[in-house]
Structure 1
Amino acid sequence: MTKDPKIDRRDDVKPTEGEHKYGDVEFADRTNKKYPIDTPEHVRAAWSYINHKDNAAKYDADEVDVIKDRIKKAAKKQHVTIEDE
């Protein structure tokens, strides 16, 4: 497993659960296997979840920026319209 240099490992998450649930897909949080961004539906869901204060609070501000940037790039690639928070 390659560690994402920009996002720290969270103690409250088991990365294997994300892989088990979604398979080998791209995640906005690659370290913890959170926020899958492999389909338009997942992109919309990831954007919604990361914009909830309780979810974003589990990350440092710079980590939230990295996650949001990855979701935005996935949205553009998949022609999904998301609204800035």
Structure 2
Amino acid sequence: MATQKIHERDDVSPTEGEHKYGDVQFADPTNKKYPIDTPEHVRAAWSYINHEKNADKYQPGEVEQIKARIRKAAKQHGVDIETD
């Protein structure tokens, strides 16, 4: 899968995510959404991106990129997540 830059969303402020979580890795680095730096954040990110109302804010290819990043982080942190 070729990665493309995730579009900037009008409904979020990237500085808010950075302020809230600090300088961490995000599954959506453009908008600083879905932090994936701890097992707890990985689980939460997976849960949130799998809610239709959250996924609908992205293009299908972007959702797959975000999910791929979360899956990779889950593996690194030893977190079991349900795959769809």
- Whether TM-score is above 0.5 comes out as yes
**Aligned to 1:76, what secondary structure does the other structure show?**
helix
TM-score by length of 1: 0.93
**Aligned to 1:58, what secondary structure does the other structure show?**
coil
- Deviation (angstroms), 1:84: 1.1
Aligned residues of 1:50 and 1:56 also touching (Cα < 8 A): yes
- Deviation (angstroms), 1:26: 0.2
Provide the alpha-carbon RMSD of the alignment. 1.2
Structure 1: state its 5+ residue gaps. none
Q: Which residue of 1 aligns with 2:79?
A: 80
Q: Which residue of 1 aligns with 2:57?
A: 58
Aligned residues of 1:28 and 1:71 also touching (Cα < 8 A): yes
Hey, what's the Cα distance between the residues in 1 that align with 2:10 and 2:37?
25
Aligned residues of 1:8 and 1:31 also touching (Cα < 8 A): yes
Q: Which residue of 2 aligns with 1:67?
A: 66
The alignment covers a number of residue pairs equal to: 82
Q: Does 2:2 align with 1:6?
A: no
Hey, what's the Cα distance between the residues in 2 that align with 1:15 and 1:35?
11
Q: Which residue of 1 aligns with 2:23?
A: 24
Aligned residues of 1:6 and 1:66 also touching (Cα < 8 A): no
Hey, what's the Cα distance between the residues in 2 that align with 1:78 and 1:38?
9
Hey, what's the Cα distance between the residues in 1 that align with 2:33 and 2:82?
20
**Which stretches of structure 1, 4 residues or longer, exceed 2 Å deviation after superposition?**
none
Identity %: 72
